[in-house]
């Protein structure tokens, strides 16, 4: 016996025998009631019935109710595992059937062949309705508001007519085919591709409607009222001593001003950006962003190009330039007096500017006047006003003010 126990072959044989005995115990000692449990039916409730039909020609307007499925099988798979919906299908076959109501048997597939299947109810009714196609014009619905001062134009739709397929009973319910476009904050033309909605007369979406094409292209012009006005150069200060402007050229003489109608209606000229001449001593090309006046939406061009031609200054003296008096009422008369009380009607004027401009300037191009508006009769010191050609100024020695005697006319 000890020799057997020392033999590893003997030990292996005993172990194999024990394993065989355990397998027999597990597989042959069953609960006497288990056989009846294997054949116990399993019920699956609320199973949807799929309907097979010609969906190109018909619409399913009455669907079958959910059914109850009984599965009975000796296969222990159905006892210890759940049957999931992706393993089977319950259906009725209405292919080849025309419009109307049909009573059809409920069929199934996906269950093992040995399983016994029962379906309650075994017959169901479905209703098919023929599809009809109508042509409708697309209506654009504009949502939101464009930016202040802008106005949306008439939308352009491509294609502007589409085909709608609906069940025959819904043809008369179609009220409009609508494309919606959001305008919020828009300052330029809107170009979008948008889905279509088919609405009934109550404004509800008809879910069973099929639209061809599904989308359309919509273009909505967005513009602002505008006015074209002359550009007014805003030159400030003088060039440094010894320099004068020979010419000023801009990339435009007019600008287009966009904004609300009540704003742009009051604009006659539009100011350029401020151009400070105080530090310019040579020809210059400036690129300046156009300012936006209050409530003005946009100005075109947005950038102003200004070319300044600068030359050394020259001077020219004009003799006997007429001196004019303005602002007198009908009952008044006035004369300009020298320090000695003598009446004068002309002045000599020293001008400074570019040589070419001065060469072409004569007394007829210069206006010298004094404004006595609202002054009472008497003797007054009144500033002299010089109206000069562009880019020309008076010398420092020019007369700044004169003595004016105002009297009442004698009847």
pTM of the model: 0.54
- State residue 211's pLDDT score: 95
- State residue 85's pLDDT score: 77
Choose which CATH entry (3.40.50.300, 3.40.140.10, 2.170.120.30, 1.10.3660.10) describes domain 40-129: 2.170.120.30
* Phi and psi at residue 192, to the nearest 5°: -135, 155
pLDDT category of residue 28 using cuts at 50, 70 and 90: very low
- State residue 2's pLDDT score: 52
CATH class of 226-312: mainly beta
Quick one: DSSP state of residue 354? -
Choose which CATH entry (3.30.70.100, 2.170.120.30, 3.40.30.120, 1.10.10.10) describes domain 314-408: 2.170.120.30
d(C-alpha 391, C-alpha 238), whole Å: 9
Choice between 394 and 111, residue whose per-residue pLDDT is larger: 394
Ranges 16-30, 94-108, 360-374, 390-404: which has the least confidence: 16-30
**Could you give the 3-state DSSP secondary structure of residue 322?**
strand
d(C-alpha 243, C-alpha 235), whole Å: 15
Ranges 33-37, 156-160, 182-186: which has the least confidence: 33-37
- State residue 90's pLDDT score: 95
Mean pLDDT of all residues in the chain?
88
Listed residue (83, 85, 89) closest to 108, CA to CA: 89
Over residues 306-322, the mean pLDDT reads 95
Ranges 4-8, 233-237, 271-275, 403-407: which has the least confidence: 4-8
d(C-alpha 132, C-alpha 271), whole Å: 64
- State residue 319's pLDDT score: 93
């Amino acid at each position: 016996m000890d020799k057997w126990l020392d033999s590893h072959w003997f030990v292996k044989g005993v172990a194999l025998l024990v394993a065989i005995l355990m397998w027999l115990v597990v597989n042959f000692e069953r609960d006497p009631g288990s056989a009846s449990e294997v054949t116990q039916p399993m019920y699956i409730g609320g199973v949807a019935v799929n309907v097979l039909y010609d969906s190109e020609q018909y619409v399913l307007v009455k669907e079958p109710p959910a059914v109850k499925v009984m599965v009975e099988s000796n296969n222990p798979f159905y006892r210890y595992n759940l049957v999931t919906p992706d393993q089977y299908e319950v259906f009725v076959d209405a292919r080849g059937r025309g419009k109307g109501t049909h009573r059809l048997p409920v069929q199934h597939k996906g269950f093992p062949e040995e399983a016994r299947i029962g379906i309650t109810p075994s017959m169901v009714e479905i209703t098919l309705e023929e599809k009809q196609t109508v042509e409708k014009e697309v209506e654009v619905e504009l949502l939101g508001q464009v930016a202040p001062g802008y106005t949306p134009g008439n939308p352009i739709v491509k294609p502007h007519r589409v085909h709608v397929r609906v069940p025959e009973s819904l043809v008369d319910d179609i009220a409009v085919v609508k494309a919606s476009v959001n305008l919020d904050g828009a300052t330029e033309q809107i170009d979008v591709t948008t889905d279509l909605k088919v609405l009934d007369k109550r404004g509800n979406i008809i879910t069973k409607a099929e639209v061809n094409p599904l989308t359309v292209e919509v273009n909505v012009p967005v513009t602002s009222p505008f006015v074209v006005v002359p550009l007014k150069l805003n030159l400030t200060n003088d060039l440094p001593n010894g320099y004068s402007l020979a010419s000023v050229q801009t990339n435009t003489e007019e600008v287009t001003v966009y904004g609300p109608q009540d704003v742009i209606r009051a604009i006659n000229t539009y100011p350029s950006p401020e151009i400070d001449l105080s530090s310019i001593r040579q020809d210059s090309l400036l690129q300046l962003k156009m300012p936006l006046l209050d409530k003005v939406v946009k100005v075109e061009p947005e950038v102003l190009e200004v070319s300044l031609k600068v030359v050394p200054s020259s001077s020219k003296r004009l003799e006997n330039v007429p001196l004019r008096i303005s602002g007198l009422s009908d009952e008044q008369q006035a004369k300009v007096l020298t320090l000695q009380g003598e009446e004068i009607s002309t002045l000599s004027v020293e001008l400074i500017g570019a040589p070419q401009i001065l060469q072409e300037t004569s007394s007829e191009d210069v206006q010298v006047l004094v404004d006595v508006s609202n002054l009472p009769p008497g003797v007054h010191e009144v500033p002299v006003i010089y109206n000069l050609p562009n880019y020309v100024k008076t010398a420092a020695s020019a007369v700044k003010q004169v003595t004016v005697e105002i009297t009442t006319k004698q009847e």
